[in-house]
Amino acid sequence: LAIRRSDYTEPNYLVETVELGFDLDPTDTRVAARLTLRHNPDGRANDIVLVGDDSLELVQLRMNGKPLSRRAYRLADNELRIPNAPEEAVLEIETALKPEANTSLMGLYVSNGNFFTQCEAEGFRKITFFPDRPDVMAKYKVMLRANREQYPVLLSNGNLIEEGDLGDGRHYALWEDPFRKPSYLFALVAGKLVCQEERCALADGREALLQVWVEEGNLDKTQHAMESLKNSIRWDEERFGLELDLDRFMIVAVGDFNMGAMENKGLNIFNTKYVLANPRIATDSDYANIEAVVGHEYFHNWTGNRVTCRDWFQLSLKEGLTVFRDQEFSADMVGTDSGRAVKRIDDVRVLRQAQFPEDAGPMAHPVRPDSYLEINNFYTVTIYEKGSEVVRMYQTLLGREGFRKGMDLYFERHDGQAVTCDDFRAAMADANGRDLTQFERWYSQAGTPRVRAETRYDDASRIYEITLSQSCPPTPGQKTKLPFHIPVKIGLLDAQGRDLPLVFEGDLSEAPTTRVLELTEASQTFRFTGIFGEPVPSLLRDFSAPVILEYDYSDDDLAFLMAHDSDPFNRWEAGQRLATRHLLALTRAVQESRPLEEAAPGVATFIESLRAILNDTTLDAAFREVALTLPSEGVLAEEMDVIDPQAIHAARQYLRRMLARTLRNDLVAACNLNATTGAYSPDAASAGKRGLKNVALLYLAELDDTDSHAMTQAQYDRADNMTDRIAALMGLVNSSAPGKADALERFYTEFEGEALVIDKWFSLQASARTTHVPDVRRLMKHEAFNLKNPNRARSLIFSFCNANPARFHAPDGSGYEYWAEQVIALNAINPQVAARLARTMDRWRKYDRLLAQLMKKALQRVAEAPKLSKDVLEVVTKALADN
Ligand code: ARG
Ligand code: ZN
């Protein structure tokens, strides 16, 4: 049943050209495909192998002009096989589909009356029979025919070469994509849409037409996406010398979409969430996400489309690399060093919050997996975010210039090809004359490595020693691991907090203040000379590798790093380590019913360190915001051997309130000093101010007294942008403020027509402390709730199950029962979304026994449900398996 990487074989036939004719109709769409195939000299048999989904109806099949008799081919198990085919063949295939009934949102489907496609990874097989694998690259010509009134806009990949009338109220458009591409990059869009467009000058003097397509009424929300697209184009030219290769580049927004967005050649299709923005409906983080996702999809044009993946096991080849590129893009758009650091901190937070648990759970897989049941389950934080960290490590090891050389060689060698992660690694190694053989283990071994540091200072010889040891826990199917090649960036701080020059023993030629130590063995010692006085080490600066770094820092060391480290990432990190230490001590006290006042003796000093940062106006507001944010309940859970969600929540709330009480005046001042005035702008500096102000406001809201109610209510009433409004609403909803119900209702009425804002309204309630299982069930019955719309399902169900741990893990198991019901209901509608929700239970074994038993029961209930999709089956089977 499982697909294995080691089973890869070349395709028997290659496809030269694809001509597709669509007669679009919501209930009966006809697709006429004309494929020219040629036997692949490297292929084995002379069987033409095409795949087609169950939902496809085969209407007609002809080869080289003649109908194929029922005996000339075999059609079974989603495979259409034509044995002993000629060297060259022209296949004409007619299929019939029902787009309106397609709730999976893969292949061709209808959203709000318009047609859209999603073909990655294996959606093209829901459109026609085809060698639907990324190593088959062909040129496409696409004819779209539809009723003109209902579908005035007809789009596909590449260039529009002809359009016209067909009589009968119908019209057509003919599109041609000049570049060869795999089927997963095919796209079409048809319907009532309008666009903002602009001509954009390219570096080589050409001009391109840029368009952002949306439903009528949303043209006031496209400007930021357009700006982001232009910035992306410029950035890729400057940083990587990569140009837009098309005359026309289109972005289309759709309200029903499984993921974030899709990089179809020249016709990117986006979840509305990552396109539509104006100050009234979008928050600062929405603006930042739009910039990142627009960049991400645009950058895929080179890393993904021009050079694509040989097979889906290589998915991180394009995703890890493209995430790395979009992260660098966003960082460059901020511009300042501390702005870059905040972006880095945000990315590392995602990694720790989502990827570390994945890597420690039943779905753990290498960045280049060895097998899967359903490829859609492998669009994971490991493939994307850890994959990006792996790419970042090349840059850390080779330097920015070395990395660029590697990229140049990669394109020189592989433009127009479907390749592997090994090919990328080879380009990096060869361009820099480096041996990166051991680095391959980052692709083949799952699990988060632990790096333990030990230091020794010798007063007499003035030598400082750092010993680094690595290990990696077992993961499913991988009991033992070999040492990784780990870049560990470090610095040493003297007693004044200044960086010391780092001189390696026996090498006086250089003395930088930050060095990248290359840990390649199980344990290695690095010696620095000329160190006068024992320094405080700043380890894993800028988070130079996706590992867990352990070092026995004292509380004083951490407070010192928090105040002085020149590496802003580690400055933040020191605060997080301290906070974690105190929060875990408090959690234990909660569990043992001990008084919390005495449980964490250092906590008062820690709060004073936070006060210093809060009031340090030489620091960016955005940095102060992240420094003031305590580790999430999810991150804390990963630090415990046995997870106790209620105790974690109580401990974190206790510390939040204590912080609010102690820093009350400073927090009020921060709110006043960071008020933004004038017209809203999403730039990093303004967003940082709002971020700091709102973090402060939400601390004050924890006091839940009349003063804080008044402050929150005032911000809610006066807010002229969504960032301030939603923050204030969150403060109200999590409190007992008298105006809370009224504010929730007013918010709903005011934004009833804005789907993305109503999503926020659901998600805010779903993750509120005051929301229990019965409340979520009530919200499910709200007129605006719709299980078929993934954004809406995520906003309520996922927010409750994943972002409200204290309530979801209700001791009676009612949260788990609710979860099981929703997974089963979604399974029948949209397996991909259902499987995502199923992942909620990944860590069930780590919870205390009573909860774990209840979680297991819920998992079993899902596993035994009838008609389980491969998607959900894979997730729950792996969760229940003994490893
Ligand atoms: N390639 C897209 C992106 O990362 C994601 C598409 C995921 N699609 C899916 N069916 N899993 O930009
Ligand atoms: Zn991507």
Give residue 563 CA to ligand 1 midpoint distance, Å. 41
Residue 524 has pLDDT above 80, yes or no: yes
Which of the following is catalytic: 120, 263, 291, 297? 297
Q: What is the pLDDT of residues 569-579, one digit of tens each?
A: 999 999 999 99
Q: Is the CB of 835 under 6 A from ligand 1?
A: no
ipTM of the complex: 0.98
Nearest Cα residue to atom 12 of ligand 1: 262
Q: How far apart (Å, rounded) are the C-alpha atoms in residues 700 and 672?
A: 13
Residue 388 CA: which ligand is closest?
2
Q: Is the CB of 379 under 6 A from ligand 1?
A: yes
Q: What is the pLDDT of residues 389-424, one digit of tens each?
A: 999 999 999 999 999 999 999 999 999 999 999 999
Q: Is the CB of 297 under 6 A from ligand 1?
A: yes
- Tokens 């074994």, residue located: 845
Q: Is the CB of 702 under 6 A from ligand 1?
A: no
Nearest Cα residue to atom 1 of ligand 1: 262
Task: Give the pLDDT of residue 872.
Answer: 98
Residue 184 CA: which ligand is closest?
1
Residue 777 has pLDDT above 80, yes or no: yes
Q: Is the CB of 303 under 6 A from ligand 1?
A: no
Please give the mean pLDDT across all residues of the chain: 98
DSSP E strand stretches across 351-462 = 371-372, 418-419, 450-458
Q: How far apart (Å, rounded) are the C-alpha atoms in residues 159 and 183?
A: 17
Confidence bin at 882 (pLDDT 50/70/90): confident
What's the predicted TM-score (pTM) here? 0.99
Mutate to test the pocket of ligand 1, among 106, 120, 301, 318 (most ligand atoms within 8 A of CB): 120
Q: Which residues contact 402 (CB under 8 A, 6 or more apart)?
A: 395, 431, 432
Nearest Cα residue to atom 2 of ligand 1: 262
DSSP string, 748-770: HHHHTT-HHHHHHHHHHHHT-TT
Mark whether 297 is an active-site residue.
Answer: yes
Give the DSSP H/E element, type plus range, for residue 156: strand 153-156
Closest to 743 (Cα-Cα) out of 721, 720, 755, 761:
761
Report which ligand 1 atom has the smallest distance to the Cα of 297.
12
Nearest Cα residue to atom 11 of ligand 1: 376
Closest to 627 (Cα-Cα) out of 606, 648, 610, 650:
610
Residue 830 CA: which ligand is closest?
1
Q: How many CA atoms lie within 13 A of 20 on its CB side?
A: 28
DSSP E strand stretches across 553-607 = none
Cβ–Cβ < 8 Å for 133, 119? no
Confidence bin at 726 (pLDDT 50/70/90): very high
Closest to 183 (Cα-Cα) out of 97, 94, 117:
117
Report the range of poorest mean pLDDT among 131-140, 507-516, 756-765: 507-516
Cis amide leading into 121 (omega within 30): yes
Q: Is the CB of 301 under 6 A from ligand 1?
A: no
Neighbours of 207 (CB within 10 A): 10
Residue 368: phi, psi to the nearest 5?
Answer: -115, 95
Cβ–Cβ < 8 Å for 516, 397? yes
Residue 278 has pLDDT above 80, yes or no: yes
Confidence bin at 336 (pLDDT 50/70/90): confident
Query: What is the 8-class DSSP label of residue 504?
Result: B
Query: Mean of the pLDDT values across residues 692-721?
Result: 98
Query: Mean of the pLDDT values across residues 37-63?
Result: 96
Q: What is the pLDDT of residues 346-362, one digit of tens each?
A: 999 999 999 999 999 99
Closest to 729 (Cα-Cα) out of 741, 851, 720, 625:
741
Q: Which residues contact 658 (CB under 8 A, 6 or more apart)?
A: 603, 607
Residue 708 has pLDDT above 90, yes or no: yes
Give residue 444 CA to ligand 2 midpoint distance, Å. 21
Closest to 529 (Cα-Cα) out of 544, 546, 511:
511
